[in-house]
Structure 1
Amino acid sequence: MAKLSNRFWFQLHGWFSLPIWLIFCFVCLTGTIAVFSHELTWLTNPASRAANPDNLPAKPAAELVATVQQAYPTADVSMVMAFEPYLVNAVAFTDHDKPYALAYINQYTGDIQQINEGITFIGFMRSLHGWLLFPWPGSYSVGYYLVSAMALVMLGALVTGLIIYKNFWRSFTQPKVRLHQGKKTILTDLHRLAGVWSIWFLIVMSATGLWYLVQAVMWHADIDIEPHAPLVSAEQLSATTQMPPFSFADAMQKTLQRYPDFRPSYLMLPEHNRGMYTLMGGGDHIFYDEQAYTLSINPWTGDIAHEKTPATMTALQTVMHIADPLHYGTIGGIWTKAIWFLFGLMLSGMSITGFMIWGSRTVKAVRESRKAATLTEVNHGAQ
């Protein structure tokens, strides 16, 4: 009975991952690359590098916006994006001949180093990993569902793998890789060893992936986890002033006065006369993402109409803002990214070795079945 039970768990372990192993492996590899998407951007695109040989302080975001507006007088600037200190800031704008463009501005020198009118490498890798570049016909994407559902596959493979591998904890103190007992033995030992040492990583990826799946369902059902930015009331609009009296620079200054540790990430300007400045950034909480602090500031009065911080978040908002740092390993900078990258490679390798083990067992079983059928036919013929 025990033998039958072990066989059942092994088959279940295989079916949790093998029917879609190619997609799973692709998601793992793209996620592993996405961890270092900022660093790879710096490496491959010289225009993205924020060189600062004179050790200058970063210019205010409002000054970068003014630089773009001076270079493109008819441009409509919508947002300023700040990334790592070694990457340029990106100012998003539209113009009569540019449906959407990003001005790469060195925040230390103020120089426009490139105008990008296509998808960035960072955006491409995050989209490829997040929803396989499937379209979003509304508030959902089939690709996003498919990728986030991989969390169920990963969790099932983890649980069944631990049931199959008896006394798995010995791999922490007595790791074993038998190099002289054939390819199958080597693959099995490597698969098990990587699986045991990746238990914590599999749990983190499964938990964050399950959250992304829940988030996808809520988006699809039009359930707002965070409220939309409020609109300026019609009574507050000035009948004579064309431009709001409270400038983008004023909004940034007010934000920094309120939160001195505020690190800007996405700074959005009003889209219309009833829109507000929406300023997003990180703070001194390492487990929260770079949108943990959000302020909506009225451009006509200078009042903070809405704000969100880690201290005021709901439970769902807290989970949403800690999921990405845990999923991509950004909680400790380059060092945790390197750890996530390493274990991402291990997870990708596990999916490949698992398929190879399953394939060899399947081929062997088919050969034995055919051999038995042939023997049966020969025996019947002899009779």
Structure 2
Amino acid sequence: MAKLSNRFWFQLHGWFSLPIWLIFCFVCLTGTIAVFSHELTWLTNPAARATNPDNLPAKPVAELVARVQQAYPTADVGSVMVFEPYLVNAVMFTDHDKPFAIAYVNQYSGDIQQINQGMTFINFMRSLHGWLLFPWQSGYSVGYYLVSAMALVMLGALITGLIIYKNFWRSFTQPKIRLHQGKKTVLTDLHRMAGVWSIWFLMVMSATGLWYLVQAVMWHADIDIEPHAPIVAVSDVPSTAATPPVDFAAAMQLAQQRFPDFQPSFLMLPEHNRGMYTLMGGGDHIFYDQYSYNLSINPWTGEIAHQKSPQTMTALQTVMHIADPLHYGTLGGIWTKAIWFLFGLMLSGMSVTGFMIWGSRTVKAVRDSRTAANLQEVPDGAK
């Protein structure tokens, strides 16, 4: 009975990932690369580097926006993205000859180092990993569902793997890889040891992936986790003024005054006369993402119409804003990214070794069955 039970769990362990092995491996690999997408951008694109040989302080974001508007007088700046100090700020705008463009502005010198009119490497890798570049329609993407459902595969493989591998904790105290007992033994030892050492990582990826799946269902069902940004009341818009009295620089000062530790990350300018400044940023909270602060500021009155911070979040909003740092390893900077990258490679390798183990077992089973069939076909007198 015990042998039958072990065989059942082993087969279940394999079937959790084998039917979608290629997709699972691809998601693991692209996620591993996405962890270092910012660093790879810095490495491969000199125009994205925020060089600062004179150790100048970073200029206010509003000044960088003004530089873009001076260089392109007819441009309509929509938003700004602020990355790590070693990457330039990205000012997104449209113009009569540019349906969508991104100005790479060095925040220390104020120079516009490049105009990008295509998809960036960072966005490409996050999109490829997040929803496999499937299109979004009616608030959902089939690819997003497919990728987030990998959490179920991962969790099932983790649980069944621990049931199969008796006394798995010995891999912490007595790790072993038997190099001289054949390829199958080496692959099994590598697969088991990587799995045991990655238990914490598998649990984190499973938990965050399950949240992304729940989030996808809520988006699809039009359930708002966070309220939409408010719009300016008609009574606040004067009939004579053409330009709001509260400019972008003043809005940024209001945000800094409201949250002294506010570190801007994504800033949206009003799209029309009833639009507001929507300012998102992070703070000194290690487990929250770079959008944990959110303010909507009325450009006509200077009123903070809406604000959100870690202290005022609901339970669902809290989960939403701690999922990404845990999933991509950004909560501790470059060092945690390196750890996540290493274990991401281990997870990708586990999917490969698991498939190779299954393949070798399958080939052996087919060979043995053919041998048995051939022996049965031989006449008794010839045996």
Verify same fold: TM over 0.5. Answer: yes
Q: Which deviations, in whole Å up to 9, do the C-alpha atoms of 1:108-165 show, x marking residues without a partner?
A: 0000000000000000000000000011122000100000000000000000000000
Once residues 178 and 162 of structure 2 are traced to their aligned partners in structure 1, the CA distance between those partners, rounded to angstroms, is 20
Once residues 260 and 40 of structure 2 are traced to their aligned partners in structure 1, the CA distance between those partners, rounded to angstroms, is 31
Once residues 244 and 238 of structure 1 are traced to their aligned partners in structure 2, the CA distance between those partners, rounded to angstroms, is 9
Show the 5 A alignment for 1:1-383.
1-379=1-379
Please tell me the root mean square deviation across aligned C-alpha atoms, in Å.
Answer: 1.0
Q: Which deviations, in whole Å up to 9, do the C-alpha atoms of 1:61-114 show, x marking residues without a partner?
A: 111111111111111000011000000000000001111000000000000000
Query: Aligned letter for 2:109?
Result: T
Specify whether residues 115 and 4 from structure 1 end up closer, same or farther in structure 2 by C-alpha distance, changes over 3 A only: same
Structure 1 residue matching 2:114: 3-state secondary structure: strand
Once residues 108 and 289 of structure 1 are traced to their aligned partners in structure 2, the CA distance between those partners, rounded to angstroms, is 24
Q: Which deviations, in whole Å up to 9, do the C-alpha atoms of 1:195-246 show, x marking residues without a partner?
A: 0000000000000000000001111111111001001000110111001111
TM-score normalised to structure 2 length: 0.99
Structure 1 residue matching 2:310: 3-state secondary structure: coil
Once residues 291 and 169 of structure 2 are traced to their aligned partners in structure 1, the CA distance between those partners, rounded to angstroms, is 39
Deviation at residue 289 of structure 1 after TM alignment: 0.3
Deviates more, 1:25-34 or 1:254-263: 254-263
Once residues 93 and 354 of structure 2 are traced to their aligned partners in structure 1, the CA distance between those partners, rounded to angstroms, is 47
Deviation at residue 260 of structure 1 after TM alignment: 1.4
TM-score normalised to structure 1 length: 0.99
Structure 1 residue matching 2:296: 3-state secondary structure: strand
Query: Aligned letter for 1:117?
Result: Q
Deviation at residue 382 of structure 1 after TM alignment: 6.8
Query: Aligned letter for 1:287?
Result: F
Deviation at residue 266 of structure 1 after TM alignment: 0.3
Once residues 56 and 80 of structure 1 are traced to their aligned partners in structure 2, the CA distance between those partners, rounded to angstroms, is 21
Aligned length: 383
Structure 1 residue matching 2:50: 3-state secondary structure: coil
Deviation at residue 376 of structure 1 after TM alignment: 1.8
Once residues 168 and 379 of structure 1 are traced to their aligned partners in structure 2, the CA distance between those partners, rounded to angstroms, is 49
Once residues 338 and 15 of structure 2 are traced to their aligned partners in structure 1, the CA distance between those partners, rounded to angstroms, is 31
Once residues 101 and 167 of structure 1 are traced to their aligned partners in structure 2, the CA distance between those partners, rounded to angstroms, is 56
Deviates more, 1:250-259 or 1:161-170: 250-259
Q: Which deviations, in whole Å up to 9, do the C-alpha atoms of 1:158-185 show, x marking residues without a partner?
A: 0000000000001000001101000000
Query: Aligned letter for 1:229?
Result: A
Deviation at residue 380 of structure 1 after TM alignment: 7.4
Stretches of structure 1 that go unaligned for 5 or more consecutive residues are: none
Structure 2 residue matching 1:14: 3-state secondary structure: helix
Query: Aligned letter for 2:316?
Result: L
Deviation at residue 373 of structure 1 after TM alignment: 1.5
